[in-house]
Amino acid sequence: MIAEEIATQFDIPGRLVALQPIGTGNVNDTYKVILRTTFSEEQYILQRINRTVFKNPAAVMANMKAVTDHAHCRIQSESENADRIWQLPRVISTVGGRDFIVDREGEYWRALSMIASTTSHEKVSTPEHATEAGIVLGHFQRIISDFPIEELEDTLPGFHITPGYLKSYDEVLPTEKAQKFLKLSSEAARLARFVEERRGIADILESALERGELQLRPTHGDPKITNIMIDNFTGKGTCIVDLDTVKPGLIHYDFGDAVRSSCNPAGEETNDLKEVILDLDLFEALVKGYLKEARGFLTEADRKYLFDSVRLITFELGLRFFADYLAGDIYFKVNYEDQNLNRARVQFALCESIEARESEMRRALESLG
């Protein structure tokens, strides 16, 4: 069904005046909906959930509802002492009182409240912005840290289990399609060698989990910089969005994901590999903000793996993009040919830069900790 038909089925007053595609998400389709009555204008976010990725959208919505209800209570109870107004999207019910709509084609649609007067940035260029990104992630992890993980479904099995992505890559590699790409593109062949050289790092977090050094907690799953909303008036972070992947996991992948997406000033979609670096000033600034909120719930063992998590998630994301390129772009949406190859090149270049700065990054983590 077309989005216009869906947009009026949620419990919001007014007549539909505009529906605009927004956002740069690689998975779901997102729209801004504007409705008007004689005296007011209402705006909300409408999303079609990608069913190729999320096989059980109803469970995604149940997790989102449970965690946001919990987080909203925490935000309320802490509001008097907070240095800002914290926000978090609310699931808007349908006219019939449900959390989502399933259309005739079986597509799932949901409505979320709009976080007004804030901006989602593709890149970070100032330490202040990086600090805010760290604060927002740490705050979110903190306020959901006491949510019982048994109540969260695993909506995306294998999501952020790096050895699993390596396994999928190994399955794609021998296929005819992948072999053709590898023959035709010397860049693809170079990336395949890059992966081989780093196989050994893939299980560093998972084996720490198995040994009981690390433990599962509620996580965001996708705290990249575009999901961290910055207040247009104060410049402070106010909210983290995109709560599809909230599920039990290692908070390390969250920390790593915020760092890799915030501390590479060239951003994820650049074509210029020379510009791709892990900027140490941005890194220190982000860690400072993150620890302000996270200090209380991080264990000694958690801290020990913070550097590794940055390297690992960057490698993992490069591997996911590369495997998807070799498989023919079946997971991540693309706007041009070879986009997933290019995205992989960027993440692998960033991974190299992280490796080159390992001692400085470890030192910063220690001195700020």
Q: CB pairs under 8 A, 24+ apart, for 49-58?
A: 49/100, 49/107, 49/108, 49/109, 49/110, 49/244, 51/106, 51/107, 51/108, 52/330, 52/331, 53/27, 53/156, 53/331, 54/155, 54/156, 54/244, 56/153, 56/155, 57/100, 57/108, 58/100, 58/108
- Contacts with ligand GN1 by CB under 6 A: the residue count is 10
Q: Is 284 near ligand GN1 (CB under 6 A)? A: no
**Angle of CA points 121, 124, 128, to nearest 5°:** 110
Tell which positions 294-323 bind ligand GN1, by CB under 6 A.
Answer: 317
Residues 235-264 that bind Mg ion (CB under 5 A): 242
Residues 6+ apart with CB under 8 A from 274: none
**Is 224 among the residues that bind ligand GN1 (CB under 6 A)?**
yes
C-beta of 87 vs 155, nearer to ligand GN1: 155
Residue nearest to ligand GN1 (CB): 27
Q: Which is nearer to ligand GN1, 34 or 256 (CB)?
A: 256
- Using the rule CB under 5 A, is 302 a contact of Mg ion? no
Looking at the Cβ atoms of 132 and 242, the one nearer to Mg ion is 242
Q: Find the binding residues for Mg ion in span 196-235 (CB under 5 A).
A: 222
Residue identified by tokens 């995306």 is 156
As given in the structure block, the two tokens for residue 260 are: 């890799």
230 is a contact residue toward ligand GN1 (CB under 6 A):
no
> Which two tokens mark 338?
């070879």
Q: Which among 22-30, 40-48, 147-155, 204-212 is the span making contact with ligand GN1, rule CB under 6 A?
A: 22-30
Please give the distance of CA 299 from its chain centroid, rounded to a whole number. Answer: 23
Residue 262: contacted member of ligand GN1, Mg ion, none (CB under 5 to 8 Å, by partner type): none
Residue 244 per-residue DSSP state: G
Question: Is residue 26 involved in binding ligand GN1 (CB under 6 A)?
Answer: yes
Q: Is 268 in the site for Mg ion (CB under 5 A)?
A: no
Find the part of the chain contacting ligand GN1 (CB under 6 A) among 19-27, 103-111, 132-140, 142-150. 19-27
Report if residue 25 touches ligand GN1, rule: CB under 6 A: yes
* Cα 347 to chain centroid, rounded: 15
**β partners of residue 10:** 94
Separation CA 137–CA 301 (nearest Å): 19
Which of ligand GN1, Mg ion, none binds 112 (CB below 5-8 Å, type-dependent)? none
| CA 322 – CA 189 distance, rounded (Å) | 11
Residue ranges binding Mg ion (CB under 5 A):
222, 242
Residue ranges binding ligand GN1 (CB under 6 A):
25-27, 53, 222, 224, 242, 245, 268, 317
